[in-house]
Structure 1
Amino acid sequence: MTTPSSSVSLSTVHVIVDDPDAAVVFYRDTLGLTVRNEVAQGDFRWITLSTESQPEIQIVLSQPHAGRSQEDGDAIAALLAKGELRTLHFRTDDLDATFEKVAGAPGAEVLQEPVSQPWGTRDAAVRDPAGNMVRIEQA
C-alpha cells in the first residue's frame, strides 16, 4: 500500500545580520524586496521580507543574539564577522542592471563581477552590509 505523496516547498530562509537597519536598506531598497512584517522583542528585531515573484517565500533577518544564549549569539556573531555563514542566492532577469545597483549600495562589498560560470550560470557575488555572501544569477 502506498501513501499519498505530499508536496514540500520552501517557506522561510533566515539571514543573520548585525545591523537590521542597514540590512533592510540593502534587501528592500537595493534588491527590491518587500517588508512583510517586523517584530521587536526587547533589544532585538525580526524583519520578514519577500520578493514580488515569490511572496510565499519569506526571508527573515535577525540578529546573532536574538532568541539565543549569550554564548551561542557570540559564536554566531563571530562567524558572521568572518563571513562564514551560508550564501543567499537570488535570480534576476537583468544581472548587469542588478549588479550595478548592488555594487553601489552602502556597505556592500563586491566579490565577483558578473561572469559566465563553467557550469552554465552567469552570476555575480557581493557581501551584504553584515558580511553575508549574496550571489545573484541571470534568470
Structure 2
Amino acid sequence: MNLVSIRIITAHIESLVEFYEHITGIKAVQYTPDFAELRTATATLAIGSTRTLQFFGGEDIAQPEANRSAIIEFLVDDVEKEFERLKNRLSSCLIQEPTTMPWGNKSLLFRDPDGNLVNFFTPVTKEATEKFSPEKK
C-alpha cells in the first residue's frame, strides 16, 4: 500500500491553489474549476472546492478551514533558504522560524490561507539525513 495523496477541501480554491504554487514552485494541474493537484516526486497535494463534497455524500463530509490536527509536510533542500525566499509572504501566518527539532529536522512552520499547518523541513542530523536518503526510499 502507498500513500499517494492528501486532499484539502476549501471554500477558496483559487487562492489556496495560488498559495501552494507560490510556496512550492510547482504549477498545479487544474482539472476543473473545483479540483487541482500539485504533484511531487513522492506524493500529490490535491485541492478540492467544497462543491466536490457532493460526490462523497454531501457537505457534512468535510469542513473547510477546520483542521487542527494534521500538518502538511514538504522535504526541502535548504529550509533556511526557503524561509528567506518566503518570509515576506509568510509574515502574517508564520508559526515558527527554522528551528532544529529533537528528531533532527530543521523545521519552518506556518499556516496556509485556510489555517492548515504547513511544515517545510530539512534533515540536519546524521540520523535524519540517513532516514531521507535515496537508498532508504
TM normalised by structure 1 equals 0.73
- Equivalent position of 1:94 in the other structure: 78
Name the CA distance, whole Å, in 2 between partners of 1:84 and 1:126: 13
Higher-Rg member (1/2): 1
Match of 2:25 among 23, 29, 32: 32
- Equivalent position of 1:3 in the other structure: none
Higher relative contact order (CA 8 A, sep 6+): 1
Name the CA distance, whole Å, in 2 between partners of 1:26 and 1:94: 20
1:76 aligns with 2:76: no
Instruction: Flag the structure with higher helix content.
Output: 2
**What's the CA shift string for 1:32-66, capped at 9, x where partnerless?**
122123223xxxx0111113xx0x62211013452
Identity across the alignment (%):
23
Q: How many residues align?
A: 120
> What displacement does 1:125 show?
0.3
Runs ≥4 residues deviating over 4 A: none
TM normalised by structure 2 equals 0.74
Paired residues of 1:47 and 1:62 also in contact (CA < 8 A): yes
> What displacement does 1:9 show?
2.5
Name the CA distance, whole Å, in 2 between partners of 1:60 and 1:9: 16
Distance 1:104 1:87, change over 3 A: same
1:118 aligns with 2:102: yes
**Unaligned ranges ≥5, structure 1:** 1-7
Q: RMSD between aligned alpha carbons?
A: 2.3
**Unaligned ranges ≥5, structure 2:** 124-137
